[in-house]
Structure 1
Amino acid sequence: MTIHNYLTEYAGLPVVDFPSKDLEKDRLARHERVAAPAGRPPGPPEPDHALAAGTADPSSVAWRLRVGSWEPEEVYEDYFARFLTEVDTTRITALVIGSWAEPVENSAESVRDLLVAHADRFPALRALFFGEIVLEEAEISWIQQCEVSSLLAAFPRLREFTVRGGTGLGFSGAGHAGLERLTVQTGGLPQGVVTWVLEADLPALTHLELWLGVDDYGRTTTLRGLAPLLSGTVLPALSSLGLRNADDTDALIEALSQAPVLARLGALDVSMGTLTEAGARTIIGAEAFRSLRRLDLRAHFLDAEVAEEVRAALPGVEVDLRDPREPDTYGGETYYYPVVTE
């Protein structure tokens, strides 16, 4: 499985597309298809009210920038320049960078460099999603990411940063003094990303979310490599931790059951992974999980009876056990996969 749907909200704001020529062409084509069965000329389409509202108050929405993935009609640099001209970017607080031209073939570097070069045009930016690309554009493991620390350096007032895609992804530098939320979405997480997080100066970081994924799609992160995080000796402000989309969730939960960091956390998210009854039994028997306020176990491989046992064992904890799944079976063998891999 992978990611099919575009965000409708980011950083607490509705997401609005700044229309590229490709998006506008698609919108007109949809309008004509709707009108055609009625046997009448399509006429002009309805105005894009969300775009109009966002243009009137650029701080009221999260702006998404994306062009057609394959042979777009508009060069990204021209599209970005038009955005700077048509929208008061000095008031934008949230930005979502979607597909650039051929994200499977082309690195995100050129888009990164555009943002860095024009950082002064976004003085109010507080939240940035870099690489919101869905299945119809590229598998998550096919996205050609890049070194992204220059984005953090260019926006010192950033509070939230999300990046999707682990291929070519890198962080470097000292850290970020104001960053409060960091999310790294991958089908396979490189250990180098984890090492940077553990060594960087991130004094304000309260929420860390890592999608671990599988070895076949680039994961080199190990439980041993996560040990400093689980020890609770790094990231002094951390109160919410997500270790999601893992192919070894049961082993991860075993490690967490003995991890000092749990005493500091209010929320733990190990959803979208491979939780089976073995991991559930660890949760049921471990005192450590009872200090949490919230435990997210969505997209698990538990039957209803075991799920109820987990809930009963954690009476003071909000436990999310939605979206039970069934394992795959091939040639008499049973396989458990995380939700997002390739």
Structure 2
Amino acid sequence: MSFYEHLTDFAGLPVVEFLSPAIEQQKLLDAQWRARRAEQPVPDRWEPGDIYAEALAQPGTAAWRLRVVADSDETFEDHFTRFISSVDTTQVTALIIGCWGESYEIAGDMPRDLLTAHADRFPALRSLFFGEFIVEEAEISWIEQTDLAPLLAAFPGMEELVVRGGNGLRLSATQHRSLRKLTAQTGGLPRQATAGILASELPALEHLELWFGVEGYGGTTTLDDLTPLLAGELFPSLRSLGLRNSEWGDDLVRALAEAPVLERVRVLNLSDHVLTDAGGEVLATAPTFRTLERLVIRHHFLTEGMQERVRAALAGVDLELSDARKPEVYQGKTYYYPSVTE
């Protein structure tokens, strides 16, 4: 998942951005920059093309992105109002809520409340990405989030919810019978958010993904907070689990080696952690991990020798082991960092 570029597809659909004059100007500038770099003729205008026209004609064929450009005259409220007035939102199945303004000044309450107030305009909505800011718009640690439980209450048919940003993030304990995928991408996951998620009744949940981050950016969730999840007491339909982006990757692997939840999880993602050879030893020796169908570990600190041991031990598992890192050494001290913090 890149934080430097916007998504080009979501929920199995191509992303189409609902346009504004500011966005069109931004796209023109981007096209001119690419043309200069490629030493090609520089365009003096930008046209949305057939894809945009087709999406307007059949709104259900695209995942729609709503966002505003910094310093533009249009507010997010204005942009949203134009969208529901211009597009047949009864057909929209996938929606991306991007930059809603200066993230450190405007919290997620505003776009959340706009969506819940107009939930009747989106009867087919099944997938929502809430907070798709890229670094040009805001660092992940700057995004001011909110309680997402009202969104789930307003959209009982929602099947997928992705949220980016941990500041103020909450999910008050809720019941939702349709949600199949839940992802929280943060540089610091608050304990309050984790507790709410794990206290929720989500019988259809098949995929859960949590990015923990660091305490300096609000990551107060600890390994102990995951005890009910690891014990296998929650989410009876869970088959895919992503526990990512922490400073305690080695301890997490030790806990997972004896965790009942892995008796039914088929896909496990342990990317972005501080995961060293100590954790690699557990991966290479614990029988638990050999029953997985797929194990993904991107961004880790395993040495080459340990990587080979893990690959040999998990030869029957579809293993992705990539993006090996080396710790930073400064003034004689060694520092390890998870992938996503600020």
User: After TM superposition, is the score higher than 0.5?
Assistant: yes
Contact 1:36/1:42 (<8 A) preserved:
no
Matched, 1:59 2:60: yes
9-18 or 30-39, larger mean C-alpha shift: 30-39
Matched AA of 1:263: E
Residues 150-170 of structure 1 show CA distances to partners (whole Å, capped at 9, x for unaligned) of 110111000000111110111
Contact 1:71/1:102 (<8 A) preserved:
no
Matched, 1:205 2:205: yes
Residues 265-306 of structure 1 show CA distances to partners (whole Å, capped at 9, x for unaligned) of 101111011111111101111011111101111111123322
**Could you tell me how far apart the structure 2 residues matched to 1:239 and 1:229 are?**
13
Change (3 A) 1:123 1:250: same
Q: Give 1:33 deviation, angstroms.
A: 5.7
Q: Give 1:147 deviation, angstroms.
A: 1.1
**Could you tell me how far apart the structure 1 residues matched to 2:307 and 2:198 are?**
33
Q: Describe the SS at the equivalent of 1:258.
A: coil
- Tell me which residue corresponds to 1:276: 276
Contact 1:2/1:135 (<8 A) preserved:
no
Matched AA of 1:313: A
**Could you tell me how far apart the structure 1 residues matched to 2:321 and 2:50 are?**
37
User: Identity over the aligned pairs, expressed in percent?
Assistant: 51
Residues 124-181 of structure 1 show CA distances to partners (whole Å, capped at 9, x for unaligned) of 0000010011111111111011111111011100000011111011111422111000
Residues 298-330 of structure 1 show CA distances to partners (whole Å, capped at 9, x for unaligned) of 111123322121011012111111111222221
Contact 1:208/1:240 (<8 A) preserved:
yes
Contact 1:178/1:204 (<8 A) preserved:
yes
Q: Give 1:186 deviation, angstroms.
A: 0.6
- Tell me which residue corresponds to 2:29: 29
Q: Describe the SS at the equivalent of 1:131.
A: strand
Matched, 1:3 2:32: no
Change (3 A) 1:39 1:331: closer
- Tell me which residue corresponds to 1:13: 13
Question: Which 4+ stretches in 1 moved above 6 angstroms?
Answer: 34-41
- Tell me which residue corresponds to 1:188: 188
Q: Give 1:21 deviation, angstroms.
A: 2.6
Q: So what's the TM-score if we normalise by structure 2? A: 0.95
Q: Give 1:187 deviation, angstroms.
A: 0.5
Change (3 A) 1:33 1:288: closer
Change (3 A) 1:56 1:219: same
Matched AA of 1:248: W
Greater RCO (Cα-Cα under 8 Å, separation 6 or more):
1
Q: Describe the SS at the equivalent of 2:300.
A: coil
**Could you tell me how far apart the structure 2 residues matched to 1:34 and 1:9 are?**
21
- Tell me which residue corresponds to 1:302: 302
Matched AA of 1:321: L
Matched AA of 2:176: H
Q: Describe the SS at the equivalent of 1:107.
A: coil
- Tell me which residue corresponds to 1:242: 242
- Tell me which residue corresponds to 1:165: 165
- How well do the aligned residues superpose, as a CA RMSD in angstroms? 2.0
Change (3 A) 1:251 1:86: same
Gaps of 5+ in 1: none
Change (3 A) 1:35 1:316: closer
